[in-house]
């Protein structure tokens, strides 16, 4: 018998943090929290994950796939082609960057995934990314196999499909103390403050199910009472020009740090 348990998804809104590259330095993380990479796992925890567990290689093929799927979806929003369940089209994005891979974010994501325990870590910030965000997902299945391509594409698209729950108002200012249907994975993917991502995936068995646990860390998180992206004619505020492969996105050289917003951002 073939049994498949659907994706389970969770998003996180991070808080402001300090400045340091030492993951065990408490100033990097919010008070009373521990960085996932402080004395973090360098290899899979076989006592928890089991002897047959393995880390899916984030080789160039998987990296390119992750970036391609993300950037295609970001392009769709940036050019005003995405609507919610009420058929209300979202505004275009004036300066949404092209997402690029970051090895440090991927390494920190792996420290979470190697635990084989589904859940957000308390802190994943870096000296460069002081408000790092995170999307996580897990798939459990029995009597069937999936390729890395199918899993990665499925995870990211499931995150993005929360677009049906979003509104123009939400995108203009991420709500404080939000309690509605899930939106956080979608808003994380299309944040115009996010230009870097790094992911990890681990495979393990919880008999009789095979489980694939996928973690992506982003350079910037959802921030309450601040825009997910600034609306305007697609690419109109890009200083480096527009990306020809992903319409509506800025070229990869765009320095998004130069964006100035009102709201409670961390410096």
User: In this structure, are residues 98 and 194 in contact, taking their beta carbons and an 8 Å threshold?
Assistant: no
CA distance 105 to 199: 7
Where is average pLDDT lowest: 35-39, 77-81, 243-247? 35-39
Please state, in angstroms and rounded to a whole number, the distance separating the CA atoms of residues 60 and 175: 36
Question: In angstroms, rounded to a whole number, what is the distance separating the alpha carbons of residues 218 and 138?
Answer: 18
Is residue 259 pLDDT above 80, yes or no?
no
Alpha carbon distance 124, 14 (integer Å) = 9
| Cis before 77? omega within 30 | no
Q: pLDDT band for 25, please (50, 70, 90 cuts).
A: confident
CA distance linking residue 235 with residue 79, whole number of Å: 9
Stretch 94-123: mean pLDDT: 97
pLDDT of residue 257: 77
pLDDT at 21: 57
Question: Could you tell me what percentage of the chain is helix, strand and coil, using 3-state DSSP and rounding each to the nearest 5?
Answer: 25, 20, 55
Q: What is the pLDDT of residue 172?
A: 98
Mind listing the pLDDT tens digit for each residue in 51-97?
899 999 999 999 999 999 999 999 999 999 999 999 999 999 999 99
pLDDT of 27: 86
For 186-223, how does the pLDDT look when each residue is reduced to its tens digit (9 = 90+)?
999 999 999 999 999 999 999 999 999 999 999 999 99
pLDDT at 2 over 70: no
Domains of the chain with CATH codes? 3-29+51-258 (3.40.33.10)
Give the position of tokens 């919010």.
30
The model's pTM is 0.89
The pLDDT value recorded for residue 19 is 40
Three-class DSSP category at 62:
helix
């Amino acid at each position: 018998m073939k049994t498949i348990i659907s994706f389970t998804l969770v998003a996180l809104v991070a808080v402001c943090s300090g400045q340091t590259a030492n993951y065990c330095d408490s100033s990097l993380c919010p008070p009373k929290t521990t960085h996932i990479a402080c004395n973090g796992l360098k290899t899979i925890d076989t006592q928890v994950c089991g002897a047959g567990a393995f880390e899916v290689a984030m080789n160039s093929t998987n990296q390119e796939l992750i970036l391609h799927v993300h950037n295609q979806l970001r392009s769709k929003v940036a050019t005003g082609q995405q609507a919610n369940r009420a058929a209300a089209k979202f505004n275009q994005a004036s300066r949404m960057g092209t997402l690029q891979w970051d090895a440090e974010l991927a390494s920190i994501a792996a420290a979470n995934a190697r635990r084989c325990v589904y859940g957000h870590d308390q802190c994943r910030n870096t000296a460069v990314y002081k408000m790092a965000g995170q999307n996580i997902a897990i798939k459990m299945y029995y009597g069937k196999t999936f390729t890395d391509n199918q899993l990665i594409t499925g995870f990211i698209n499931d995150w993005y499909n929360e677009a049906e729950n979003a509104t123009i108002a939400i995108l203009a200012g991420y709500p404080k103390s939000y309690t509605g249907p899930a939106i956080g994975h979608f808003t994380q993917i299309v944040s115009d403050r996010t230009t870097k991502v790094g992911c990890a995936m681990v495979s393990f068995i919880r008999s009789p199910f095979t489980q694939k646990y996928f973690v992506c860390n982003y350079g910037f998180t959802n921030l309450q009472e601040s825009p997910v992206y600034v609306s305007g004619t697609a690419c109109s505020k890009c200083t480096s020009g527009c990306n020809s492969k992903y319409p509506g996105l800025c070229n990869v050289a765009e320095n998004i740090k130069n964006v100035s917003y009102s709201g409670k951002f961390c410096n």
